[in-house]
Chain A
Amino acid sequence: MKWRINTVIGGALIVLLLGTAVTAALWTPFDPLRINLKARLQAPSALHWFGTDEFGRDVLSRLMAGASASVVVAFATVLIAISVGVLVGGVAGYLRGWTDRIIMAVNDALLAFPGILLALAVMIVIGANKSGLVLALGLAYIPSVARVVRGTVLSIREKEYIEASRVIGNSETYSMLRHVLPNAIAPVAVLATSMFGWVLLAESALSFLGLGVPPPAPTWGNMLAASRPYMETAAWLSIAPGLCIALTLLGINLLGDSLRDRLDPRMAHG
Chain B
Amino acid sequence: MTAPLLTVDHLRIEAARTGAVVVDDVSFAIERGEFLAVVGESGSGKTAAARAILGLLPAGLRRAGGAIRLDGEDLAAITPQRMRALRGRSVGMVFQEPMVSLNPAIGVGAQMAEGLALHEKLTRGEIRQRCLEMLARVQIRDPEHTFDAYPHEFSGGMRQRIMLASVMLLRPKLLLADEPTTALDTLSQREVLDLMVELARDHGTSVMLITHNLGLVSRYAQRAVVLRQGKMVEAGSVQQILSAPREAYTRQLVDALPRRRAATGRRAGGAPLISVRGLKVAFGGRQRLFRRDADVAAVNGVDLEIGAGETVAVVGGSGSGKSTLGRAMLRLIPAAAGEIRFQGRDVIASRDRAFRLASQLVFQDPYSSLDPRMRVGEIVAEPLCHVPELSSGERDRRVVGMLDEVGLAGFAERWPHELSGGQRQRIAIARAIVRHPSFVVADEPVSALDMTIQAQVLRLFERLQAQYGFACLFISHDLAAVEQVADRVVVMQGGRIVEQGSRDDVFDRPQHEYTRALLAATPVLDFAGQAAARASG
Chain A positions near chain B (C-beta within 8 angstroms): 159-161, 163-170, 179, 182-183, 264-266, 269
* Cβ-closest chain B residue relative to A167: B361
B470 partner residues in chain A, CB cutoff 8 A: none
CB pair A169 B356 closer than 8 Å: yes
CB pair B417 A164 closer than 8 Å: no
Nearest first, the 6 closest Cβ-Cβ pairs linking A and B are A160-B369, A265-B415, A161-B371, A168-B383, A169-B386, A167-B361
* Cβ-closest chain B residue relative to A160: B369
Q: Could you list 6 A-B pairs, sorted by A, with CB under 8 Å?
A: A160-B369, A163-B369, A168-B360, A170-B385, A264-B373, A269-B418
Min Cβ gap A209→B in Å is 44
Q: Is B372 an interface residue (CB 8 A)?
A: yes
B370 partner residues in chain A, CB cutoff 8 A: 161, 164
B431 partner residues in chain A, CB cutoff 8 A: 164, 168
- Among the interface residues B363, B372, B428, which one has the most CB atoms of the partner chain A within 10 A? B372
Given A167-B356, A168-B382; 18 other pairs, CB 8 A cutoff: A160-B368, A161-B370, A163-B332, A163-B363, A163-B369, A164-B428, A165-B371, A165-B382, A166-B332, A168-B383, A169-B357, A170-B385, A182-B373, A183-B373, A265-B415, A265-B417, A266-B372, A269-B418
CB pair A161 B332 closer than 8 Å: no
CA A168 – CA B384 in complex, angstroms?
9
CB pair B386 A168 closer than 8 Å: yes
CA A128 – CA B382 in complex, angstroms?
51
A183 partner residues in chain B, CB cutoff 8 A: 371-373
A266 partner residues in chain B, CB cutoff 8 A: 372, 415, 417
* Cβ-closest chain B residue relative to A185: B373
Chain B positions near chain A (C-beta within 8 angstroms): 330, 332, 353, 356-357, 359-361, 363, 365, 368-373, 375, 382-383, 385-386, 415, 417-418, 428, 431, 435
CA A260 – CA B54 in complex, angstroms?
39
Min Cβ gap A66→B in Å is 39
* Cβ-closest chain A residue relative to B386: A169
CB pair A169 B363 closer than 8 Å: no
CB pair A161 B369 closer than 8 Å: yes
CA A160 – CA B373 in complex, angstroms?
14
A165 partner residues in chain B, CB cutoff 8 A: 371, 382
A164 CB contact (under 8 Å) in B369, B372, B415: B369
B418 partner residues in chain A, CB cutoff 8 A: 269
Min Cβ gap A112→B in Å is 24
CA A168 – CA B386 in complex, angstroms?
8
CB pair A163 B371 closer than 8 Å: no
CA A110 – CA B368 in complex, angstroms?
35
A168 partner residues in chain B, CB cutoff 8 A: 360, 382-383, 386, 431, 435
A179 partner residues in chain B, CB cutoff 8 A: 371
CB pair B361 A161 closer than 8 Å: no
B386 partner residues in chain A, CB cutoff 8 A: 168-170
CA A30 – CA B528 in complex, angstroms?
95
B368 CB contact (under 8 Å) in A161, A166, A264: A161
CA A163 – CA B362 in complex, angstroms?
10
* Cβ-closest chain A residue relative to B327: A163
CB pair A164 B356 closer than 8 Å: no
Min Cβ gap B146→A in Å is 30
**Given A160-B368, A167-B360, is A265 in contact with B330 using a C-beta cutoff of 8 Å?**
no
Min Cβ gap A11→B in Å is 24
* Cβ-closest chain B residue relative to A159: B368
B435 partner residues in chain A, CB cutoff 8 A: 168
CB pair A169 B372 closer than 8 Å: no
CA A183 – CA B417 in complex, angstroms?
14
CB pair B363 A164 closer than 8 Å: yes
CA A269 – CA B372 in complex, angstroms?
13
CA A168 – CA B365 in complex, angstroms?
17
* Cβ-closest chain A residue relative to B384: A168
CA A216 – CA B382 in complex, angstroms?
58
B375 partner residues in chain A, CB cutoff 8 A: 265
